[in-house]
């Protein structure tokens, strides 16, 4: 017996695909926020980096996003501002087109953000990774999804 494809069936399939895509996009945005967003940091010093990096790596493992071997992440940058200001980089109101040296299309912020970059300087995974903090104010570069959400932070672009 052959399956009869009707317009209703096609509409249902298309709707399911859109919902799955939106869910994946939302998950990427939430992961971006976990890895790179901290609206109101306390300290922005080495202790801040040690605590924030430990929290981020534990959350990744808890959510089964990083089931691989436990390693200390080399470097990570946290952006300080509102999530709306960071999302605005993906629009004409807060960002401009930016093309990386490798030809990747991204968005550059129109204004500088306060950032804290945490760089690994010793210790072993997972609870003993030690980080050094560097505070800065700079333009940031992000990749955006089709829903104008940032999904990747390009630390090395600026």
Supply 21's token pair.
């895509």
Q: Determine what percent of the chain is predicted with pLDDT higher than 90.
A: 61
How far apart (Å, rounded) are the C-alpha atoms in residues 115 and 20? 33
Q: Catalytic residue numbers?
A: 36, 152
Give me the sheet containing 150-153, strands edge to edge: 95-99, 105-109, 141-144, 150-153
Q: Which residues pair with 118 in a beta bridge?
A: 76, 133
Rounded Cα distance, 61 and 83, in Å: 23
For range 42-65, the mean pLDDT:
85
* Confidence class for position 56, pLDDT limits 50, 70, 90: confident
Whether the Cβ atoms of residue 158 and residue 135 lie closer than 8 Å to each other: no
Domain at 8-153: CATH architecture: Roll (3.10)
**pLDDT computed for residue 10 by the predictor:** 41
């Amino acid at each position: 017996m052959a399956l009869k494809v009707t317009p209703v069936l096609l509409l249902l399939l298309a709707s399911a695909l859109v919902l799955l895509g939106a869910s994946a996009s939302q998950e990427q945005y939430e992961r971006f926020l976990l890895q790179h967003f901290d609206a109101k940091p306390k300290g922005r010093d080495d202790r801040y980096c040690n605590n924030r990096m430990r929290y981020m790596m534990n959350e990744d493992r808890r959510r089964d996003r990083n089931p691989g071997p436990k390693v200390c992440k080399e470097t990570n940058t946290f952006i300080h501002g509102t999530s709306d200001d960071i999302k605005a980089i993906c629009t004409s109101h807060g960002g401009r087109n930016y093309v990386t040296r490798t030809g990747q299309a991204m968005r550059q912020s129109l204004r500088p953000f306060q950032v804290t970059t945490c760089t690994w300087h010793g210790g072993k995974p997972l609870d003993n990774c030690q980080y050094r903090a560097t505070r800065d104010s700079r333009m940031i570069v992000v990749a955006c999804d089709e829903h104008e959400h940032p999904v990747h932070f390009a630390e090395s672009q600026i």
